[in-house]
Amino acid sequence: MNRSVIDDISAIGRISAVPAILQVICDTTGLRFAAVARVTEDSWTACAVLDKINFGLEVGGELDVTTTLCHEIHSSHETIIISKASEDDRYCNHHTPRLYGFESYISTPIFRSDGSFFGTVCALDPLPAKLSEAVVLPMMESFARLLAMQLESEARFEATEAALFDARQTAELREQFIALLGHDLRNPLSSIMSGAQLLQRRSTDPTVLGIAGHMLTASHRAARLVDDVLDFARGRLGKGIPLNLSPCDDLRGALGHIVEELQSANPHRRIQANIGPLEGVRCDADRLGQLLSNLLANALVHGAPEGTIEVSATIEDDQLLLCVSNAGQPIAPDRLAKLFQPYWREETSPQSGLGLGLYIASEIAQSHGGKMQVTSTAEAGTTFMFRMPLSGP
């Protein structure tokens, strides 16, 4: 592997949004393998990988480029979309789908700012998938542009680091990236949601309604992932989570609504809430609702399925105290400090979401002038506690 390719792998690895991009691709298309690849005339190298099918390819892994469809994209500079290879007129007898055992595939070229070919962002699955929807191609092209923009940002930063590149210019480039991410992803997601809702209103076919419901659920989840990425980026830029502060007269109702919403979505689980009077707390009620939602979702994923999840919110000693507790295996002391780090998961945890929920909860807490704490024992279970002075930040 030559030095240039190694540097490109490092550049992709420094782009914090890449794991989220691959996750959104998989969630939106239904494909279970996604990657960013560096492609040249004689090499194919994985720079980032999300593998849910045990494809066996890791970062730095190489394929014979002549066996890949990215080799054709290197020449044509055009996206390839295959919903079902075995029935595709062009690719039914092609060696690549047979060699790698996939039915569905999509790959979009990534070009540097000078027009040179960098590689591809691609995804595949052994099962067929509907990739012909009008939103899929714009989404992939948006991701390719965003990656190109970040590669350019990384190149500029590296080239000028020794000369103490102006921090404001760097922040401005990253803010532009965040804005483009929100804009370019939310538009196709809105189209998917609108189409699914239209299908639900106009169709009585149970199969169609089931597909539309699945599309709507996946779209809402992808939208939440986008929101998490944006909040993550704001926190990493040092600006913190933005707040809309005001005296909240119905914080109790807002938190209660979050509990009811997640209880409705998980009817087989038991959630016990004790939310006391919370009038007059100066806060951003929506953000505290998001904090509680993240903590409660974490408890639903990691808590013992047969155990009760306890939620409490009270005012004690001029502080707002919000707690979420769940039964289950205790978390080792050396891992407790890592829980609020971005993209961190327990090795045995289900691979759902991006691993940003607790990080964002911690950022919301800090923006309110409060803090998050966690305790975990075999006897008492795991408890996440948020404390905030009533005066607010």
pTM of the model: 0.49
274 and 369 inside one domain:
yes
Q: Indicate whether 111 and 9 sit together in one domain.
A: yes
Q: Quick check: is 354 in a domain?
A: yes
How many domains does the structure of the chain reveal? 2
Q: Does 283 share its domain with 332?
A: yes
Encoding tokens for residue 329? 């295996």
Cβ neighbours of residue 258 closer than 8 Å, sequence gap 6 or more: 289, 292, 293, 296
- Residue 71: CB atoms within 10 A of its CB come to 19
Beta bridge partners of 234: none
Instruction: Please check whether residue 241 lies inside any domain of the structure.
Output: no
**Separation of alpha carbons 5 and 75, rounded Å:** 19
371 and 271, same structural domain?
A: yes
Per-residue pLDDT of the chain (393 residues; tens, 9 = 90+): 677 889 899 989 988 889 999 999 999 999 999 999 999 999 999 999 999 999 999 999 999 999 999 999 999 999 999 999 999 999 999 999 999 999 999 999 999 988 999 999 999 999 999 898 778 999 999 999 999 998 888 777 777 765 666 666 665 666 566 656 665 676 677 778 888 888 888 888 888 888 888 787 777 667 766 777 777 766 665 566 778 888 888 899 999 998 998 888 788 999 999 999 998 789 999 899 989 999 998 999 889 999 999 999 999 988 999 999 999 889 888 888 788 887 666 655 544 555 778 988 998 999 899 999 999 998 889 999 999 998 766
CATH number at residue 83: 3.30.450.40
* 270: containing domain: 246-389
DSSP output for 147-170: HHHHHHHHHHHHHHGGGT--HHHH
Same domain, 160 and 224: yes
**CATH classification at residue 265:** 3.30.565.10
| 318 Rama class: left (phi>0) / alpha (psi -120 to 50) / beta | left
Residues whose CB is less than 8 angstroms from the CB of residue 105 and which lie 6 or more positions away in sequence, other chains included: 31, 69, 80, 81, 82, 85, 97, 122, 123, 124, 125
- 366 shares a domain with 286: yes
Q: Are residues 213 and 359 in the same domain?
A: no
Look-up of token digits 């690895």: 13
